Structure 1
């Protein structure tokens, strides 16, 4: 068994290795097993109440990648060269309210909670949305709240990739409305239930990155005791 210090070193090394890769080597492809592992770390990621407001769409079709590039200026280089390209979708507010069919299915069929416990959890969740964080009356805030949860899954996938020497790049440089329209027109996304959250590219770097720079720990960490 790997000792704790070795694991810590491996994880920190992965963070040092990871950088936002702009140009991937188009001749190097991620194996199916390795990408399945990356996807699994996303699937197993935590979410508020365990309601998983995400869907991971892996776009390998070259024609569709070209169409995406028209409305995703921040992803054009990666769309051309990345081994794997992912679009993360987020559930719309209508699915994320406590009384939705989606939440009912999550409680009953996925989490498999007894009726009484499921009902109590639904009521608690309803109070959370309406009173604790008070966002249910603002669809835009509701959607952005769900999007923030997808970034937990994204972060886990980026780290998981780095741990096995795979490069990545999270991407927000796209026209959300146009990409939503395109995905709906292509039959990839149901616009009644989903909207785009973020994109990510995965592959193997073509060029060595610059040295990583970060503010020192004293600037970003404060202890309150």
Structure 2
């Protein structure tokens, strides 16, 4: 009986392709962490962008998240895959940034009552240049871009708890178990929230996009 109980107490073995690299990071290997950044930054940027809806802000969030992960990688206990642990950090950073953005917008609205206080500066932007479009596909690409922008707008209107689960499941393809690990909730709760999130998104798309194609 004692042997049986000891087996039950052992944590499940989690397969993780990042494990060897993570162990190097935990020993202080900075270059190994750079490997993890290269491996995961695209997926993490996609999550941050889908949650925030602004590319430059998403880039800042991912940079902040990787810095936080680097500082706390020694605390990673392999209770989930490294990528799952990293998703949790990115989601938390994105949620905090959304709060900051809402506060910033509130300040801007209050400053609208005092136009003389504005700096008058123009031309803010990331300085990126758009890729040239082929003449025969300009209309098609513009329509696709507009549709994507409207869908992203609808995602941004979802409640935070719905948006983050929808992004991780339907856009990133995480399993219910992985999402449960990210948010520390039962898989059944993930399923119910995802169901409500999908319905909410459908309603928003019907009202804002309609027959747009």
- TM above 0.5, yes or no, is no
Higher strand share: 1
Q: Which has the larger radius of gyration?
A: 2
TM-score by length of 1: 0.30
Higher helix share: 2
